[in-house]
Amino acid sequence: MAEQKKTRVLIVGSGPAGYTAGVYAARAMLEPVLVQGLEPGGQLTTTTEVENWPGDTEVQGPELMMRMEAHAKAVGCEVVHDIISSVDFSKRPFVCQSDSGTEYIADALILATGARAKWLGLESEEKYKGFGVSACATCDGFFYRGEEIVVVGGGNTAVEEALFLTNFASKVTLVHRRDELRAEKILQDRLFKNPKIETLWFHEVAEVYGNDTPLGVEGVKVKHTQTGEITEIPCKGFFVAIGHAPANELVKDVLETHMGGYVVTQPDSTATSIPGVFAAGDLTDHKYRQAITSAGMGCMAALEAERFLAEDESAPEVQAAE
């Protein structure tokens, strides 16, 4: 029989939302269990400097997340390295299956599964993933020392990745489909001042090309969005930074979603349409998608879970989702 782990509150996800929920739920004596998922620490572990976390003028993303984990553990949150593969939302307590085989049984659930990088969807992009195509500059930038790199995207991530990659590359070309970036002004200023970065406006990446033996990128073909003209840009590394989509696999058939898959919560609340299920962070947030807003929602979710459990002492017998 599968090993069972029972808890008042199961937190799914170990980004700022999950760990903040862990801190608050532990301090409410709920003895929460937090399942970390495939990416312990979440998205901030894929970046370097974080400059907008209050209290730290500058902090490395991975370090910040290690501190959050240590904080959650120190106040009594049990942190488990596992991945939740499915949840039975039809009755309470909720029964969650996991990759390790452990069955997690929880009176309340806080979903904080965050978001994941989007890809262009090109066949050639898929072919060279891990062989010159990447969505994480901090993970893979080091492989392109002295080489030319292309980054696609126009938001904060693309600009930060382009800047970071100048630590390794001889040249970085930022390809954007419009002539205006979405990124914060301060980041744009740094980008435009950097002599290693060239910005190519009004272009989309049409194809990644390269060698088969050994498998590796040699360049990208870009298409002018207005004239349709195709140009080749030689490069050894191609970084896709075109945004993130919510990691909603566990709930997309059960909970209402909107704006491209973000979980809908009640106004000014993290409560979902299923009593006892709360959602926090980038999973629900199509608008702000920041560490601090995710942490704030994690706090709200834990406080709301605590109130829900206090008001519903008969939780195990109640039918949750009709």
Is 139 in the active site?
yes
CB within 8 A of 60, min separation 6: which ones?
A: 48, 49, 50
> Using only C-alpha atoms, what is the Rg of the chain?
22
d(CA 321, CA 75): 32
Closest approach of Cβ 297 to ligand FAD, in Å?
A: 7
Compute, in degrees rounded to 10, the torsion defined by CA atoms 154, 190, 236, 228. 40
Site for ligand NAP in 89-148 (CB under 6 A): 120
Residue nearest to ligand NAP (CB): 155
158 binds ligand NAP (CB under 6 A): yes
Q: Any contact of residue 254 with ligand NAP (CB under 6 A)?
A: no
Subset of residues 265 to 294 that bind ligand NAP, contact rule: CB under 6 A: 289
DSSP category for residue 132: T
Among residues 36, 124, 257, 265, the one that binds ligand FAD under rule CB under 6 A: 36
Q: Which of 69, 289, 299, 305 binds ligand FAD (CB under 6 A)?
A: 289
Asked if 212 contacts 228 with a C-beta cutoff of 8 angstroms, the reply is no
**Phi, psi of 91, rounded to the nearest 5 degrees:** -150, 160
Q: Does 43 bind ligand FAD (CB under 6 A)?
A: yes
Cα–Cα distances in angstroms (integers) from residue 27 to residues 32, 71, 147, 221, in the given order: 10, 11, 50, 54
- How many residues touch ligand FAD (CB under 6 A)? 38
102: helix, strand or coil: coil
37 near ligand NAP, judged by CB under 6 A: no
| Closer CB to ligand NAP, 158 or 300, in the complex | 158
137 CB-side CA count, 13 A: 25
Choice between 40 and 275, CB closer to ligand FAD: 40
Q: Could you tell me which stretch among 144-152, 214-222, 223-231, 289-297 binds ligand FAD (CB under 6 A)?
A: 289-297
In 3-state terms, what secondary structure has residue 36? coil
* Binding to ligand NAP, residues 159-178 (CB under 6 A): 160, 177-178
- What order of strands is seen across the sheet that includes strand 148-152? 133-134, 237-240, 148-152, 171-175, 197-200
Among 7, 14, 124, 134, binds ligand FAD (CB under 6 A): 14
Catalytic residue among 82, 107, 140, 282: 140
* Burial category of 267 from C-beta neighbours within 10 Å (exposed 0-12, middle 13-18, buried 19 and up): exposed
* Binds ligand NAP (CB under 6 A): choice among 156, 173, 199, 257: 156
Residues 235-274 that bind ligand FAD (CB under 6 A): 247, 250
Which of the choices ligand NAP, ligand FAD, none does residue 36 contact, using the CB cut-off of 5 to 8 A by kind? ligand FAD
Helix (H, G, I), strand (E, B) or coil at 283: helix
Task: Note the Cα 76 to chain centre separation in Å.
Answer: 25
Smallest distance, ligand FAD to C-beta of residue 320, A: 19
Q: Does 217 bind ligand NAP (CB under 6 A)?
A: no
Is the bond into 40 cis (omega within 30 degrees of 0)?
A: no
Active site residue 140: yes
Interface positions with ligand NAP (CB under 6 A): 52, 120, 152-158, 160, 177-178, 182, 204, 242-244, 289
Active-site residues, by number, are 136, 139-140
Interface positions with ligand FAD (CB under 6 A): 12-18, 35-40, 42-44, 46-47, 50, 52, 83-84, 112-115, 157, 160, 247, 250, 281-283, 289-292, 294
